[in-house]
Structure 1
Amino acid sequence: MLVDIWSDVACPWCYIGKRRFEAGLREFTHRDDVEVVWHSFQLDPTLPPHYDGSEVDYLVERKGMPRDKVLQMTGQVAAQAEAEGLHYDFDRLVVANSLPAHHLLHLAAKHGVADAVKEDLLSAHFEQGIDIGDPEALVAIGAAHGLDAADVRNALQDSMIRQSVEDDFAAARAYGIQGVPFFVIDGKYGLSGAQPAATFTQVLDEAWRAEHPLEVRGDSAQVCGPDGCAI
């Protein structure tokens, strides 16, 4: 079973969604048969490489929301994250364009460490106050998972990797994805947002049953399908 996930490193709900999906996946009987593929999405591609201000400043400016409402919103998001074992620190968060981080993720995917690198990027951004637009920070994250520093630096400027990132953006548009996280299961079932863990388990179960309608039950090797059971 293939699960494609569109996500942005600069998306607070994407980290929460990752945790909830992982919890739901752990409860899925066939979890060892699931392949997860991370795809790039940018909530704000117009963001400059670095923004001179806090996350609250950015949201007030870009969203046109009153500061007190933004503070209330970030507090609520932080509480949701805390419930998933994540410790968001919006005061330390460095607002930066996430495109270089997506380049790193595509390099990581080539080496089979995309999930681990994704985890570290999200933690760096939301918990540790690390600048995800800083090439040296990205080199350090890549190195922690066996990626060569020169390869990471090259990947940040690589036109082929940029094209693969753009392909992810195009695929999101084709699916009609306008917000993240967004989960597509076996190319047929779409699930939007940081849903509860139980919802992910349920959808995975439904998708599996749709693709595997027959199963063997009991010692009598009874085969059960849509029309009933037969020996």
Structure 2
Amino acid sequence: MRIDIWSDIVCPFCYLGQRHLELALAQFDRADEVDIVWRSFELDPGAQPQPQTSLAQTLADKYGMSIEQAEAGQRQLADQFSAVGLTFNWRDAHPANTFDAHRLTHLAAGHGLADAAQTALKKGYFTDGLAIGDHGVLKELAVGIGLPADEVDAVLDSDRFAEEVRADEALASRYGISAVLAFVIDQRYLISGAQPVATLLDALNQIAGQAQPTGPACSSSEGC
């Protein structure tokens, strides 16, 4: 079984969904047969590399809500993070451009460290309040998971893997994916959103049990 995952580093539902999938796979009898392929997706391609404002203010401006409403939403998300053992320090999270972070995830994939890169980058942003568009921060995180420093520098000092990031985004468009998190299983089953662990496990078992699959097991962000 192959699972392609479209995700952005600064997407809270992507971090939640990643953890939910980990928990589902821990209960899936055929987890050792699952191949995960991470795909790039930018929620805000026009964002600046350096943070310009707080997360709550960014959301308030984007969705036309009050700062109080934005903060309430982030507190609710922090509770969801806590329920699965994650920490969301939303007061310290400052959105920034994720394009270079995505380029590094492609480097990591070539070293068999794609999962580690996704976790380190998301933890850096959501938990540690790091500036995820800063090259110094990105290098520290990348080297911290075992990527060679010289290769990290070579990527950050060039446009290497830019085409791969754009190709992922183009492929998302062909699948009809316009938001993340999105899982595509065996290139035919679309599961959208940070689905509950039980929902993901049910979908995995259903798909694994179908010798001749005929259609999506789940295509709704609301559930299967």
Instruction: Tell me if both proteins adopt one fold, taking TM over 0.5 as the criterion.
Output: yes
The one-letter amino acid paired with 2:28 is F
> What pairs with 1:59-70 in structure 2 (closer than 5 Å)?
59-70=59-70
Q: Deviation per CA, 1:10-56, whole angstroms, max 9, x where unpaired? A: 10111110110111111111000000111000111111112322111
Aligned position for 2:149: 149
2:125 pairs with 1:128: no
Aligned position for 1:102: 102
1:2 Cα shift?
0.3
Give the distance between the partners of 2:158 and 2:4, measured in 1 at CA: 23
Flag the structure with larger Rg: 1
Aligned position for 2:204: 204
Kept after mapping to 1: 8 A contact 2:2/2:186: yes
Aligned position for 1:177: 177
Aligned position for 2:49: 49
Percent of pairs with identical residues:
39
Other structure's SS at 1:159 match: coil
1:212 Cα shift?
7.5
1:74 Cα shift?
0.7
1:63 Cα shift?
2.1
Aligned position for 1:114: 114
Q: Which segment drifts farther, 198-207 or 157-166?
A: 157-166
Aligned Cα root-mean-square deviation (Å): 1.4
Deviant stretches of 4+, over 3 Å: 157-160
Q: Deviation per CA, 1:116-166, whole angstroms, max 9, x where unpaired? A: 111010000000011111111111111122212221122124434000000
Matched residue pairs, number? 213
Aligned position for 1:218: none
2:73 pairs with 1:76: no
Give the distance between the partners of 2:56 and 2:50, measured in 1 at CA: 15
Aligned position for 1:138: 138
The one-letter amino acid paired with 1:104 is L
> What pairs with 1:22-61 in structure 2 (closer than 5 Å)?
22-61=22-61
Other structure's SS at 1:211 match: coil
Give the distance between the partners of 2:5 and 2:211, measured in 1 at CA: 20
Give the distance between the partners of 1:210 and 1:157, measured in 2 at CA: 46
Give the distance between the partners of 1:62 and 1:50, measured in 2 at CA: 18
The one-letter amino acid paired with 2:37 is V
Other structure's SS at 2:131 match: coil
Aligned position for 1:21: 21
Give the distance between the partners of 2:100 and 2:90, measured in 1 at CA: 21
Kept after mapping to 1: 8 A contact 2:120/2:145: no
Aligned position for 2:6: 6
1:103 Cα shift?
0.8
Give the distance between the partners of 1:24 and 1:88, measured in 2 at CA: 21
Give the distance between the partners of 1:179 and 1:140, measured in 2 at CA: 29
1:206 Cα shift?
1.2
Aligned position for 1:223: none
Structure 1's unaligned 5+ residue stretches are: 214-231
Give the distance between the partners of 1:137 and 1:78, measured in 2 at CA: 23
The one-letter amino acid paired with 1:191 is I
Give the distance between the partners of 1:118 and 1:20, measured in 2 at CA: 14
Give the distance between the partners of 1:145 and 1:52, measured in 2 at CA: 28
TM-score w.r.t. structure 1 length?
A: 0.88
Structure 2's unaligned 5+ residue stretches are: 214-224
